[in-house]
Amino acid sequence: MTENIEKAIVTLEGHSKKVAFCKFHPTANNVLASGAHDTLIKIWDIEAQSEAINFEDHGGEITSIDWNADGSQLATTCKDKKIRVFDPRDGKSVQSIDGFAGPKRSSVVWASNQEKIIGVGSSKTSTRQFGVWDPKKLDAPLVVTDIDQSAGVLLPFYDPDNSILYLAGKGDASIRYFELVKDKPYLHALSEFRDTNSQQGVAWLPKRACDTTKCEIAVCLRLMKDSIVPISFQVPRKSDLFQKDLFPDAYAGAPSMEAKEYFKGENRAPKLKSMKPGTAETVVAKTTFSAKRSPQELQDENDKLKAKVAELEAELAKLQGR
């Protein structure tokens, strides 16, 4: 029987307002980025239970954060309608550009395999849009395209293995998907999933969870009013053989380095695994987690020890007074 998790292993404290986003570093073990309504981005060393970096240069509530493939850069969107790209270890390296002009919440995702950044948001007339930027030249978008006039906020997901962008709107009954290419117009519409019931949110399984025998390239979990509904995206193929073009080596879900290496300035590519059934997996060393005691825990322990010492001294005084 699966046990309920009732006690946290680590508690990270530092934001003064509600935390809106958390995103684990893709290659460094136990490194976490968080964005909150206090307009702060914080990078945490989870094992040390401490804030490693605090980035304050945001002019409003943060609406999305995303790491690039090796975790060397972080991209954010904000209510001040800016898109920012920076190395969190170097606060002076920030690039800030105008994003989407509209009132809807904007989001950004990295397409590192194509050396692009993709953003979604809206125009001044509330038309939903997507845009593509070159992170090496952020002064102007490569393209900004209108999508529709729906009211829902777009939730983007990018699959780097197949260069596909999925757009699921909160409150929408559909999920659109596009292929990212190197030349204009950069994003080509592929198809659309449609339903009669609208979704309240979505989450995506990692690629290594897809069924390659069914040519399943993505699985979306749709949060409905009273259920979670999985949606399988498949590419029809007549052959029963493993489709190597659909399933290149995928992210293995294991760190490439330790937190201390990342904070010293190192960058490493993510570890990959073969998607071919029956292929011997590369042996990945098991990562261990041993949380150091937080300052508050050390203080509590110190207070208990002081109280115990005072108690023993009182007992000793009584014995000596007899």
Domain match, 266 and 299 both: no
Confirm whether 50 is domain-assigned.
Answer: yes
Domain match, 315 and 260 both: no
The three-state DSSP-derived secondary structure of the chain is CCCCCCCCCCCCCCCCCCEEEEEECCCECCEEEEEECCCCEEEEECCCCEEEEEECCCCCCEEEEEECCCCCCEEEEECCCEEEEECCCCHHHCEEEECCCCCCCCEEEEEHHHCEEEEEEECCCCCEEEEEEECCECCCCCEEEEEECCCCCEEEEEECCCCEEEEEECCCCEEEEEEECCCCCCEEEEEEEECCCCCCEEEECCHHHCCHHHCEEEEEEEECCCCEEEEEEECCCCCCCCCCCCCCCEECCCCCECHHHHHCCCCCCCCEECCCCCCCCCCCCCCCCCCCCCHHHHHHHHHHHHHHHHHHHHHHHHHHHC
Confirm whether 231 is domain-assigned.
Answer: no
Confirm whether 259 is domain-assigned.
Answer: yes
Domain match, 141 and 268 both: yes
Q: What is the pTM of this model?
A: 0.85
Domain match, 80 and 139 both: yes
Look at residue 10 in the predicted model and tell me its pLDDT: 87
Two tokens, residue 216: 């399943």
Confirm whether 152 is domain-assigned.
Answer: yes
Domain match, 98 and 34 both: yes
Domain match, 47 and 176 both: yes
> What CATH number corresponds to the domain at position 192?
2.130.10.10
What is the span of the domain harbouring residue 148? 19-200+254-275
Confirm whether 128 is domain-assigned.
Answer: yes
Domain match, 263 and 137 both: yes
Domain match, 261 and 320 both: no
Confirm whether 222 is domain-assigned.
Answer: no
The answer to whether 217 and 246 have CB atoms below 8 angstroms apart is: yes
Domain match, 305 and 269 both: no
Confirm whether 138 is domain-assigned.
Answer: yes
Look at residue 172 in the predicted model and tell me its pLDDT: 94
Per-residue pLDDT of the chain (322 residues; tens, 9 = 90+): 578 888 888 889 889 899 998 999 999 999 999 998 899 999 999 988 889 998 876 778 899 999 999 999 999 999 999 999 999 888 677 888 999 999 999 999 999 999 999 999 999 999 999 999 999 888 899 999 999 999 889 999 999 999 999 999 999 999 999 999 998 899 999 999 999 999 999 999 999 999 999 999 999 999 999 999 999 999 999 888 999 999 999 999 999 999 999 999 999 999 999 999 887 555 455 556 666 666 666 667 777 777 777 777 777 777 776 5
CA–CA gap between residue 81 and residue 122 (Å, rounded): 10
Domain match, 258 and 322 both: no
Domain match, 91 and 132 both: yes
CA–CA gap between residue 170 and residue 160 (Å, rounded): 23
Number of domains in the chain: 2
Look at residue 49 in the predicted model and tell me its pLDDT: 87
Domain match, 258 and 135 both: yes
Confirm whether 93 is domain-assigned.
Answer: yes
